[in-house]
Amino acid sequence: MRLLGLPRQSDTRRKPDGWLVRISVRLASADISRLGAEADTIGETLAQRVAVAANPEDDRAVSVKDQYLLVIRPGRRKSDSDDPRPVVQQLLADMAKPVMSSIGPIFPRLNAAFTRSPCVASDKAIRALLVEGLEQAEQSGSGVAIEIDPLGGESELLSLDTAETKVASALKRAIDSDQVVMHYQPVVSLANNRIASFEALMRVVDENGSGLLSPAHFIGIAERSGLIHELGRIALRVAAEQMEAWRSSYGESAPPRIAVNIAAPQLANSDFVAEATKIFSGVGLNSLTLELTESARIQKMPEACAALAALREGGAKVALDDFGVEYSNLAYLRDLDVDIVKIDRSFLDSGVNASRAQIIVTKVVELAHLLDARVVVEGVSTPEQVTSLLDLGIDYGQGELFGLGMDAEAATRLIEVRDA
């Protein structure tokens, strides 16, 4: 087997960052022993080719546009005739996994073209077919291999992307192309029907540009891939800019706070407090509410407590989101200083267990107030529910009755209508 590398970037003479070393090790550790005569050197060659291909002047450029393109072909001896397809598949699958760097997750993209027909390095016709195959693979996305049949002139496309790697790649493309947008849902005081805050809800434009994806489609994958940190910075930045715009236009009539969802991995990031403080320096941390989402358990509780304490000291408030489901539980109330408890919408629509649900809600409200925390109930849809919630001592409501998630323009109109 022979390997012909087609680097997509010129050699910049710069020492590779740690992430590049990890990619090279990942490739060099592939099971290539059965590929024949040159198996003892192909791992090193792969690493060298990737180092050249993935070493641009700016590490941030290595995300979507740059790909590592490989041409693989068998040698001429019988010992080289083992099927390369499983090895190619494994290489592509390994490369599809993100690798962490000093600037966040890097998403390597490896495409390959290969043939099982023996050929020689000087065979220009074979090489032309392989290069053409690579171009076809590149147009089909990342994690794609093209198997060429030089005798019949046919090719077969193999896609190695899993559902998760496809979402992660699409999410990274959305980040790089500024296709992450924020919608806003009002949180209303049940006592006076005034907007107490807006919750900033992240949406991602789908690949076809025809719709928006909610966090339910991507937040878990964002956490596992490391993209949650980049998404978190975007959410904070856009929320701060929107608050500044509202205050500039409406002064004291602007909503006093804006809520941004944060996930457990963000709290483990040593830079999170400094980043949030800097981003909200213009409007002040006292306009920010951090909502802890339930998608992942907080693994490093001491670090999380320290981060939240520092932000609360600066004026931010902390809300425990979707209380009563997933990981948001009594232990969080015990371990974290929270200002707001948000009761999940499922407690308003509990079917045959309605009486039990009401007992639970009543006790949660009592407990929250004893801990000097306010209570928000999600999923409010009728005036009758508002009356019942007020009787239970609940402070705020959020749901269809007051408005669902809306873009910035619609949220601004809502402020104007309520201010009129």
Q: Supply the mean pLDDT for the chain.
A: 74
Position 262 confidence tier, pLDDT thresholds 50, 70, 90 = very high
pLDDT tens, 197-229? 999 999 988 766 667 788 878 888 888 778 888
Q: How far apart are the first and last CA of the chain?
A: 75
Query: 175-179 long-range CB contacts below 8 Å, 24 or more apart?
Result: 175/227, 175/230, 175/231, 175/234, 176/63, 176/64, 177/64, 179/204, 179/205
Segment 183-200, tens digit of pLDDT? 999 999 999 999 999 999
- pLDDT of 243 reads 96
Both tokens of 165, joined, read 């790697």
Positions of E strands within 39-143: 68-73, 99-101, 104-106, 110-115
Q: Among 25-39, 383-397, 401-415, which is the least confidently predicted range? A: 25-39
pLDDT grade for 3, boundaries at 50, 70 and 90 = very low
For residue 255, the SS3 value is: coil
Q: In CATH, what is the architecture of 167-419?
A: Alpha-Beta Barrel (3.20)
Band (pLDDT 50/70/90 cuts) for residue 326 is: low
Question: What is the rounded distance in angstroms from the CA atom of residue 305 to the CA atom of residue 337?
Answer: 8
Most confident of 32-36, 72-76, 112-116, 282-286: 282-286
Q: What pLDDT is attached to residue 313?
A: 95
Better pLDDT: 219 or 353: 219
- Residue 38 pLDDT exceeds 60: no
- The verdict on pTM exceeding 0.85 is no
pLDDT band at 335 (very low <50, low <70, confident <90, very high): confident
Torsion of CA 391, 386, 246, 172, to 10 degrees: 110
154/395: higher pLDDT: 395
The CATH 3.20.20.450 domain(s) of the chain lie at 167-419
Query: Nearest-CA neighbor of 182 among 136, 143, 232, 254?
Result: 232
Using the predicted structure, report yes or no on whether residue 174 has a pLDDT greater than 50: yes
Q: Which of 386, 402, 295 is nearest to 348 (CA)?
A: 386
